[in-house]
Structure 1
Amino acid sequence: MSLGRRLATRFLLWLGLMFVVVTATWYSAILYFFNYYGEECSRDCEDYYEGDWLREIAKGTSIVKGRARVTSRVESTLDKRETGLQILDEQGKEVYRRGMEDHWPRKWNPGYLLREKKLNGRSLFTWHSSKKGESYTWVLWREFGFPLRKLASSVSLTRGQMILSKAWEKKIAKRNAWVQVLDAQGKEMVNYGRPKSFPTHYSSGQLVQRVKSTQDQWQMKVWYDPERKWTWIYGRPGVNSRTILANRWKIVYLWVFFLGIGLALLIAWFFGRRLGAPLIHMMEWLKNLAKGHYHEPLAKSGFPKSRGVDGQSLQRPFRVYQEVIRAMESLTSTLKGAEDERERLERTREEWMTGVSHDLKTPLASIKGYADLLEAEQYHWEEKEVRRYARVVREKAEHMERLLADFNLTFRLENDALPLVKKNVDVVELLRRSAIDLVNHPLSQGQEIHFTVPEELQLTYPLDGHWFKRAIDNLALNALLHNPKGTSIHLEVEEIHPCREVPLVEPGVIIRIRDDGRGMDEETLEHLFERYYRGVSTDYEGGAGLGMAIARRLIEVHGGFIHIQSNVGEGTLVTISLPPKN
């Protein structure tokens, strides 16, 4: 799947997931406010619904040894609201009682309770549920509206004024209510906070009609005092079901509004993390590359930020950009390789210049010394001496020429700048000529040179004959120069066929150069192919320490391998392998 399609698919999946979350949140909010808000309100609100409160009381009721217990919070609320609670078992017997008047029955039969429920529908409330497998009934008694009888017994009327205690004033003010007292003829004797829209005189029928017609707009309660023949009227603004429902919808809208803002921020954060965080990471990555830091930015764990704890697998937010991540890794690797190559070339150039200046210093000093002697006027040289000095100058010049050639060849090999002209070369003849050159070397006197080849062996291999012979000469000359007189040096060649069933264009070649001389220790073997390394103490002081390094690189550029085995006092075996060509 392409990057564009994967982004579109991820976006649609996340959008669908967020739609489900938002829908579920809306639904949960509505359920909460319409199923539990009434319960919360039943604990703290004045206009509560008794059914919600009874349900909450029933949930918190515990049965211990046949007796019911309610929470201390419920008991405190009962006392605060001046409400009575009774709990009955299956037989109608009382198992809990609080706030009920003394005349209230302690046992009910079903018909009697039903009768009281009908007669006192707005004051008596019941709830039926089970506890520990047994049925119980919760009976809640609440004097509807306002405890008008208690107010009448505690208030005093003086000169047309109603004298109330601070507690009663607080209760009436909290309910935004009013109180009116009528005499036996229905005339107002006194009022407390009565609205001007209400009359000051009622007939019996007018009062009944007034109570009935305003029941949904005003909660009115009337109590008649038979001793003084006074009529007490209590009124307060009514709260109907529509108003309660509208208020709850307002709360739902408000909560959902803020919840929607929170979800929007959450969605923005989620999409920003899923889609934006990888982009920011890749921008930091590009900045690092621009600054020359060729690696991916790391997390606190030490692994790249796009990787998991195993350091290999991509983290989930980065998987959608896996093609981009791979391209960035490839770019980083390419740039790092280019930088490493640049640094390597710079080091090679510096090493070449250092090597040239160091190794040319000695022969130049000799040439300058002999030139000064020949130039000095106080000396008169014979022709024989002049020729001898000239020969030394020529030898030093030739040595400098060889050093410069070695430096140049090393530089070209290190930078893969040596052009090879490969063609099928007779390997046996090439090794034979190297053995002859070794025998004719001025320092070969006292050494035994052996060339061993199987009879009638005809062996060709695609090589650049000039440069490959240079590698063989360097290795053979190294055995000659760094061993004492009397050392036997053997040059051997053989053909290899790893699998006779596989047809080969060119068979493989193994060349061995072995001696029984001094041998080398582990430290010398470890550094043998390093440039400018001279680890063996011999009588020979020439050379720049480049011969072995040049030999190895020349063999490697021909696709071959070189392996050296050596022990101190036992000699050295150099094995050159050229693989078969199929």
Structure 2
Amino acid sequence: MRLRIMAHYAGSFFIACLVIVVINFFYMRSYVYQEANLYHFTPEETMDLVTHNISLKEEHTFDVSPTLAAHLNNEAIGLQLINKQFEEVFRYNDPVGAMHVYSPNTLISLYENNTVTTFVETVLLNDTPYTVLLFYSPEQVKRTLYTSDVKKVSAAYNIYWLLGMNLFVLLMISYIYTYSISRPIHRITHRIVELSKGDYRIHEAGNGIYSVVEKAMNQLGLQLKASKKAHEEAESHREEWISNLSHDIKTPLTSMMGYGELLGDACEELTEETRAHYKQVIVEKGAYIETLLDDLNLTTRLKHSNTLLRCERVNLIKEIKSNLIDVLNSPQFVNQEHTVAFTHTDDFVLVELDRQLFKRALLNLVYNSFLHNEAPVSVNVHVDSRDAQWVAIDIDDNGVGVSDQERDQIFTRYYRGTHTQAKSEGSGLGMAIAKDIVNAHKGRIRAEKSPRGGLKITIDLRRIQSNETLS
């Protein structure tokens, strides 16, 4: 993988550099060295003006036209004319380095003068030949003379050696560049492959521009690891729940089948009272199975439906009082020694909820305290409405409580606790249903240890900020 990444980036970088070199080569060759004539300056324009704009009078004096004078002044060019005897006959703009009399050697030495750049050319004025000397400042036109050994220059500028050297440099730069780029990319791709195979180990992140990505990959690994663990636990709980539910259904079914066979037999020994008892057992077992299936259906609907609630505005205090009265009058606990106390900070707390589902959640939580603790059990229900946005409902008991590990799992749909003191029939969905109902109301629910030693469940519901009264 890393070699493919390096090859990809190295090839791209090498091609880009090669294109830049080729573009620069043709640009320098076609424009700089040929079209622009940067290194081949000739004063043709000035010489042409001198030839046509300077005249020789009869008095052997020279007259410069305004056109030539303006050109020489604007370009700061010095002009000097010398005759066949190398003597000065005319000058203009007082050229720097100009002499009145020259010799062949002094004329040659002008080409080596660094303070002025001189051009020499012969012109005819009235059929008389004169030598024209043009003097340029080195800041305008600069001449550089050098000599070279042709063989050495040819060897130094060998096209194959230059091409090979440049290719080697390009390859080295490409390798260094792509190696530094491919290292973090290789780590990231390798990390992705590891995550896809279920390897969630944490790797040390680099310090480059990809450090944020590598840290995010580590965080993703932690999340995937936690998600995998949660999934495995949920699957284990689901299998355990299915096993328990199957057992809970199988037991009453066996009783129903047995009593049904007894009722079906034409046994005259069965009294009418006995037959009525058998029928009652079958009805009770059937109702129990129906409750199990209803619980399963309800928790599934709460999990996947947003239109299940039929909410209305109610006084929460009045609603809870009515529900707790139903608990106290329940035939299941009327002969027990359990007690229920209800306290609240305000007499009127307006909330919006589904009355039937809220009652189901509240009763599930209260019954849970009774079912999983030995009698007598004291349950306190307290409503704290001092917060302007939320109202808290606390349900705590003085039972045996649950361990910290189980406390984190009691609302899990496929979890059944181990703290039950006695065998009791139930689907194991009561706490999960209560949580799903609270969540459907956009509320919050949590469990903690009660100050009284048992379990404390807290439900938070949003209050309605309204001055409206209930009818």
Alignment TM class, shorter chain as reference: 0.5 to 0.7
Give the Cα separation in 2 of the matches to 1:480 and 1:457.
27
Pair 1:523–1:345, CA change in 2 (3 A): closer
Pair 1:332–1:535, CA change in 2 (3 A): closer
Pair 1:267–1:241, CA change in 2 (3 A): closer
Counterpart amino acid of 1:577? Answer: D
CA positional deviation for 1:471? 1.0
Give the Cα separation in 1 of the matches to 2:273 and 2:392.
50
Once the two structures are superposed, what CA deviation does each residue of 1:59-106 show, in whole Å capped at 9, x if it has no partner? xxxxxxxxxxxxxxxxxxxxxxxxxxxxxxxxxxxxxxxxxxxxxxxx
Pair 1:456–1:278, CA change in 2 (3 A): closer
CA positional deviation for 1:397? 0.7
Match of 1:525 in 2: 407
Confirm or deny: 8 A CA contact 1:424 1:461 kept in the other structure: yes
Counterpart amino acid of 2:259? Answer: Y
Pair 1:568–1:379, CA change in 2 (3 A): farther
Confirm or deny: 8 A CA contact 1:403 1:543 kept in the other structure: yes
Confirm or deny: 8 A CA contact 2:252 2:286 kept in the other structure: yes
Three-state SS of the structure 2 residue aligned to 1:443 is coil
Three-state SS of the structure 2 residue aligned to 1:245 is helix
CA positional deviation for 1:517? 3.7
1:293 partnered with 2:200:
no
Matched-pair identity in %? 26
Three-state SS of the structure 1 residue aligned to 2:447 is strand
Gaps of 5+ in 1: 1-9, 24-239, 316-325, 499-506
Give the Cα separation in 2 of the matches to 1:333 and 1:517.
37
Pair 1:262–1:513, CA change in 2 (3 A): same
Give the counterpart of 1:441 among 300, 320, 330.
Answer: 330
Counterpart amino acid of 1:258? Answer: G
Three-state SS of the structure 2 residue aligned to 1:510 is strand
CA positional deviation for 1:554? 2.1
**Larger RCO of the pair (alpha carbons < 8 Å, separation 6+):** 2
Gaps of 5+ in 2: 1-11, 26-146, 466-471
Give the Cα separation in 2 of the matches to 1:413 and 1:427.
22
What are the residue-to-residue correspondences of 1:165-564 with 2, within 5 Å? 242=149, 244-246=151-153, 248-249=155-156, 252-266=158-172, 269=175, 293=196, 302=203, 308=207, 312-313=211-212, 353-354=242-243, 356-377=245-266, 380-415=269-304, 419-444=308-333, 445-454=335-344, 457-498=347-388, 507-530=389-412, 531-564=414-447
TM-score w.r.t. the length of structure 2 is: 0.54
Match of 1:46 in 2: none
* Count, aligned residues: 328
Report the RMSD for the aligned CA atoms in angstroms: 5.2
TM-score w.r.t. the length of structure 1 is: 0.45
Give the Cα separation in 1 of the matches to 2:242 and 2:338.
38
Counterpart amino acid of 1:313? Answer: V
Pair 1:488–1:355, CA change in 2 (3 A): closer
CA positional deviation for 1:246? 4.8
Match of 1:159 in 2: none
Once the two structures are superposed, what CA deviation does each residue of 1:414-471 show, in whole Å capped at 9, x if it has no partner? 5566733333232122212220121122232233544534587121212222222211
Confirm or deny: 8 A CA contact 1:529 1:552 kept in the other structure: yes
Give the counterpart of 1:578 among 452, 461, 464.
Answer: 461
Confirm or deny: 8 A CA contact 2:350 2:464 kept in the other structure: no
Confirm or deny: 8 A CA contact 1:512 1:573 kept in the other structure: yes
Give the Cα separation in 1 of the matches to 2:278 and 2:352.
45
CA positional deviation for 1:259? 0.8
